[in-house]
Homo-oligomer: A and B are copies of this chain.
Amino acid sequence: MPSQTSHSKQFLKNYTSLTQILTDKKLAALGDAYVNFVYSLAMSNRLKKPFGKKVKGAPLANAVRKAGLRKLLPSRIDKHVLSDAAEALLVYAWLNEVLTLEESAKALEKNEDLETGLVQLLTKATERIKL
B-contacting residues of A (Cβ < 8 Å)?
A: 1-8, 10-12, 24, 26-34, 36-37, 39-41, 44-45, 47-54, 91, 97-98, 100-103, 105-106
Which 7 residue pairs of A and B lie closest in terms of their CB atoms, listed nearest first? Answer: A29-B52, A4-B4, A33-B40, A30-B50, A37-B37, A26-B50, A33-B37
The listed residue (B11, B32, B49) touching A26 by CB distance below 8 A is B49
Do B24 and A50 touch across chains, with their CB atoms under 8 A apart? yes
Choose one: B36, B45, B48, B103; the contact of A33 (CB below 8 Å).
Answer: B36
Partner of A8, one of B30, B54, B102: B102
CA distance A54 to B52 in the complex (A): 14
Q: Are B8 and A29 in contact (CB under 8 A)?
A: no
Q: List the B side residues contacting A91 at CB < 8 Å.
A: 50
- Report the minimum CB–CB distance from A57 to chain B (whole Å): 15
Cα of A8 to Cα of B7 in the assembled complex, Å = 20
Residues in B whose Cβ lies below 8 Å from that of A6: 1
CA distance A34 to B36 in the complex (A): 8
